[in-house]
Chains A and B, each alone.
Chain A
């Protein structure tokens, strides 16, 4: 349960359910995707086929339509050609009849009454009348009179024909070999009397053809538009060629039906003559120049060969244009119909669009079906997923139920009810687990039972060790300052045991009133044996350090005593020093211990190199020698055990002498009770998290001032506050001498002046010690008071005396004190010696 706070809880029941659900959904989704994919593929295939079908159908129907259209065109062109042919045949028939009739007039001239024909007369304009014209001026009127009269009878045929075909026939006329011409028309105003027809096509052609001919179209000289002439030869009684009878036909009228042909938008018909010239067309130019099929600019140019072949047919001149053509036999003409291709293909396009619409409708219907199928599938999908959730929920509950029951059982066990047995419900892995838990609970029960006994024993030993630690700690002086009334020295010590009970110890005690002993020692080994040995060693050293005794002797004796009862082979390294507070002499003895550091005021902490003796309790009969060093006020002694220099950090580096010396000198001015914590802090910073292997013991002694040995000498700090102390000290001695009051007062004033001078100026801006000594002379009875300081050299007597006659405003106050001293004392002397200012005053009493 401890992990439940960190990891997100995921019950097995949920995991099983989720996995089943996941598999089921995955299968369904996969199937669904395949199914929908197949449907969509099917749909695409059907649509593509449908579109292909539409295209094929459109193409096929287009071709069918094209065939039909071609047939229609052919039929149309042929029927129109037949109409024109019929018309031409009718007019040819008329002309042929005229020719027969003329021949008959020659055969039986007597049967006809001669008719008079007059020359053209403008008055007869717009009236159909006969008009006579001569071929040339050589023709004699008399020679032709009879023949003119005879042939004029033709008017009996011409008149009805002209009447019946007024729109088609421009004029009817005949020309003879004998040199005259008879016209029948309405433009007598325009007809000349002379007209040479002998080389005209319609005259020569008819003569040469020996039958009916049609001329090429030409523009009518009377301005009636394009005309063709139908001509036939006639013969005299002897069947000799006598002349031609002609009929001018207006082409426009003749072919009006051709121009009216309409097979749809963009279609038109046109007539081509035997030379390939387009003679009739809706797009005719009106200058009488025909466009030729053989001209490359002509639309029908590509189809010219087929059109002029004399056959009937349909041809595509280009992708856009079709031509249907057929010959008109009578006039040697061809009728052609121009038709845009889209006229032919448009219906096919319509069919294609119809089919495309049908295809789109099919696609829409299929999409709807697919969508409907999709909805049904989704419903089935949801139903299946619901069923799976229900089923997998039940299944996973059945799977995890025994696990939950087992968890309840295990909770009972974990809450300490080790007698609780988990119920084994089934023979599977979970059942095995339950059995294993029951076994574990049994083992735990036994183990806890055993452990309880062992722990109780350990606790008892631990408690006793704890007491031992307290006893050991209480054996070391631990109240600081230990001698609060002692001005001469300051001392501080600490011991941090590595284990509950350490082997290090320190000690300090007054040997007598003027001697302070300090001891720092390290017992080999750790724990209770070392602690017990330490007690013995500490007691023996203290007991044997008696006033005036040589420290070498002390250690020699202590060593012998320790060796006697040392069955365990333990030993002690120890340093003992005894400081003479009156002289500053430090006597010491070293039994295999670290060298002490000594600080000389104004210098540095430095290891004091002394040769150590052998360890205590190492060997019986060892001799120890005492050494000594003199300390001045302000000097310090620092002693420690190897736990300091051998403190180890996590990289297995030793703290060492160099680091110790460095930290000591960084804090050289600190008092002992500040120095030791500073060193300890530096060690802690160096060691970091590494464990402490050895006891760390340190002791620092500062020698502050000499203990006064002479009752007539006082050394104290040169401050203004100490003036009363100096005065009191001197007064005490003066009173013992029964000194007169006035002299005492004068001496007190002198002390005030002189000591205040030292306090103010000797060590400025710091302070330092000053000594005042009182001496007595007997002959004469006099008191000498000497002031000594170690400040800067200064002779106050060298000062000139102040002018005491000045007014208040002019007065300078400096120098007045010394002046007063000089005046009130019997003698004042100054000398500078051994770095000391020494000023002595003498007063006789």
Chain B
């Protein structure tokens, strides 16, 4: 998985490509831990993301919890497979998906 990071003041945009699963989830978790401080607007672009597993969901959940306290988090460009997962797991109600 590759993470493309764009930061504009308190606005952080992370574009993910590949698979967000058990192997790669720690990579995103580390990136968030490092970058999310002071961010009020977090955008994740899932255009290049093929799928995600529960490990990925765990990271997204903790990111959402953090951003609930300091701002907002938006996920963009979710493909059908991933959207299905979000819906099945109830994450569609928790996350802000555009």
A-side residues, CB < 8 A to B, are 720-721, 723-724, 742, 745-746, 748-749, 752-753, 756, 803-809, 811, 813, 816-817, 819-820, 823-824
Return chain A residues, CB-CB under 8 Å to B64: 808
Ordered by A's residue number, 14 sampled pairs between the chains whose C-beta atoms are within 8 Å are: A720-B22, A723-B23, A745-B50, A745-B51, A745-B81, A752-B23, A753-B22, A808-B64, A809-B68, A816-B58, A817-B53, A820-B85, A820-B88, A824-B88
Contact (A756, B61) CB under 8 Å given A811-B94, A816-B89: no
A131 to B20, CA, bound (A): 190
Find out whether the CB atom of A724 lies under 8 angstroms from the CB atom of B54. Answer: no
Please encode chain B, from 14 to 27, with 1 for each CB lying within 8 Å of some chain A CB and 0 for all others: 00000101110000
A129 to chain B, nearest CB (A): 174
Report B75-89 residues with CB < 8 Å from chain A CB: 80-81, 85, 88-89
Apart from the given pairs A752-B22, A816-B54, 7 other A-B contacts in the complex at a CB distance below 8 Å: A720-B22, A742-B80, A806-B90, A813-B57, A816-B89, A817-B53, A819-B88
B93 at the interface (CB under 8 A from A): yes
Find out whether the CB atom of A807 lies under 8 angstroms from the CB atom of B94. Answer: yes
Contact for B57 among A720, A807, A809, A816, CB less than 8 A: A816
Return chain B residues, CB-CB under 8 Å to A809: 65, 68
Chain B minimum-CB-distance residue to A805: B90
A806 to B89, CA, bound (A): 10
Contact (A811, B54) CB under 8 Å given A723-B21, A748-B19, A804-B89: no
Find out whether the CB atom of A753 lies under 8 angstroms from the CB atom of B54. Answer: yes
Find out whether the CB atom of B51 lies under 8 angstroms from the CB atom of A804. Answer: no
Contact for B93 among A724, A749, A805, A819, CB less than 8 A: A805
Chain A minimum-CB-distance residue to B63: A808
Return chain B residues, CB-CB under 8 Å to A823: 88
Considering the complex of A and B, which 3 residue pairs feature the smallest CB-CB distances, nearest first? Answer: A804-B90, A817-B54, A756-B22
Return chain A residues, CB-CB under 8 Å to B85: 749, 820, 824
Find out whether the CB atom of A820 lies under 8 angstroms from the CB atom of B23. Answer: no
Find out whether the CB atom of A752 lies under 8 angstroms from the CB atom of B93. Answer: no
Find out whether the CB atom of B65 lies under 8 angstroms from the CB atom of A820. Answer: no
A837 to B68, CA, bound (A): 41
Return chain B residues, CB-CB under 8 Å to A819: 88-89
Return chain B residues, CB-CB under 8 Å to A813: 54, 57-58, 61
Find out whether the CB atom of A808 lies under 8 angstroms from the CB atom of B65. Answer: yes
Return chain B residues, CB-CB under 8 Å to A820: 53-54, 85, 88-89
A410 to chain B, nearest CB (A): 87
Return chain A residues, CB-CB under 8 Å to B68: 808-809
Return chain B residues, CB-CB under 8 Å to A756: 22, 55
Return chain A residues, CB-CB under 8 Å to B50: 745
A809 to B66, CA, bound (A): 10
Find out whether the CB atom of B88 lies under 8 angstroms from the CB atom of A752. Answer: no
For chain A, what secondary structure do more than half of its interface residues adopt (helix, strand, loop), or is it mixed? helix
Return chain A residues, CB-CB under 8 Å to B23: 720-721, 723-724, 752
A9 to B94, CA, bound (A): 104
Return chain A residues, CB-CB under 8 Å to B91: 804
Report B28-45 residues with CB < 8 Å from chain A CB: none
A820 to B52, CA, bound (A): 11
Chain A minimum-CB-distance residue to B66: A808
A262 to chain B, nearest CB (A): 145
Return chain B residues, CB-CB under 8 Å to A805: 90, 93
Find out whether the CB atom of B61 lies under 8 angstroms from the CB atom of A811. Answer: yes
Return chain B residues, CB-CB under 8 Å to A742: 80-81
Find out whether the CB atom of B53 lies under 8 angstroms from the CB atom of A804. Answer: no
Contact (A748, B51) CB under 8 Å given A805-B93, A806-B90: yes
Contact (A752, B53) CB under 8 Å given A723-B21, A746-B81, A808-B68: yes
Chain B minimum-CB-distance residue to A818: B54
B20 to chain A, nearest CB (A): 10
Return chain B residues, CB-CB under 8 Å to A746: 51, 81
Find out whether the CB atom of A752 lies under 8 angstroms from the CB atom of B65. Answer: no
Contact (A752, B61) CB under 8 Å given A811-B94, A819-B89, A820-B89: no
Return chain A residues, CB-CB under 8 Å to B21: 723, 748-749, 752
A181 to chain B, nearest CB (A): 176
- Residue of B21, B54, B88, B89 with most partner-chain A CB within 10 A: B54
Chain A minimum-CB-distance residue to B65: A808
Find out whether the CB atom of A808 lies under 8 angstroms from the CB atom of B54. Answer: no
A751 to chain B, nearest CB (A): 9
Chain B minimum-CB-distance residue to A720: B22
Chain B minimum-CB-distance residue to A817: B54
B8 to chain A, nearest CB (A): 25
Return chain B residues, CB-CB under 8 Å to A753: 22, 53-54
- Residue of A724, A808, A811 with most partner-chain B CB within 10 A: A808
Return chain B residues, CB-CB under 8 Å to A811: 61, 94
A811 to B85, CA, bound (A): 16
A724 to B51, CA, bound (A): 14
A167 to B85, CA, bound (A): 184
A535 to B91, CA, bound (A): 73
A758 to B82, CA, bound (A): 24
Return chain A residues, CB-CB under 8 Å to B58: 813, 816
Chain A minimum-CB-distance residue to B69: A809
Return chain B residues, CB-CB under 8 Å to A720: 22-23
A773 to B81, CA, bound (A): 25
A809 to B81, CA, bound (A): 25
A725 to chain B, nearest CB (A): 11
B22 to chain A, nearest CB (A): 4
Return chain A residues, CB-CB under 8 Å to B19: 748
A715 to B76, CA, bound (A): 39
Return chain A residues, CB-CB under 8 Å to B55: 752, 756, 817
A806 to B65, CA, bound (A): 13
Return chain B residues, CB-CB under 8 Å to A824: 85, 88
A751 to B35, CA, bound (A): 31
B71 to chain A, nearest CB (A): 14
B11 to chain A, nearest CB (A): 21
- Residue of B51, B53, B55, B91 with most partner-chain A CB within 10 A: B53
A460 to chain B, nearest CB (A): 67
A797 to chain B, nearest CB (A): 15
A209 to B94, CA, bound (A): 191
A610 to B39, CA, bound (A): 74
A163 to B51, CA, bound (A): 190
A750 to chain B, nearest CB (A): 9
Chain B minimum-CB-distance residue to A748: B51
Chain A minimum-CB-distance residue to B73: A808
Chain A minimum-CB-distance residue to B23: A723
Return chain B residues, CB-CB under 8 Å to A721: 23
Chain B minimum-CB-distance residue to A823: B88
A818 to chain B, nearest CB (A): 8
Chain B minimum-CB-distance residue to A809: B65
Return chain B residues, CB-CB under 8 Å to A807: 94
A769 to B88, CA, bound (A): 32
A746 to B64, CA, bound (A): 24
Return chain A residues, CB-CB under 8 Å to B93: 805
A811 to B94, CA, bound (A): 10
A745 to B18, CA, bound (A): 12
Contact for B51 among A749, A803, A817, CB less than 8 A: A749
Chain A minimum-CB-distance residue to B85: A820
A819 to B65, CA, bound (A): 22
A816 to B22, CA, bound (A): 13
Return chain A residues, CB-CB under 8 Å to B80: 742
A107 to B98, CA, bound (A): 217
B68 to chain A, nearest CB (A): 6
A756 to B22, CA, bound (A): 7
Chain B minimum-CB-distance residue to A755: B22
A824 to B93, CA, bound (A): 19
B13 to chain A, nearest CB (A): 21
B85 to chain A, nearest CB (A): 6
Return chain A residues, CB-CB under 8 Å to B54: 753, 813, 816-817, 820
A804 to B81, CA, bound (A): 18
A480 to B90, CA, bound (A): 56
Return chain B residues, CB-CB under 8 Å to A724: 23
Chain A minimum-CB-distance residue to B51: A745
A820 to B81, CA, bound (A): 12
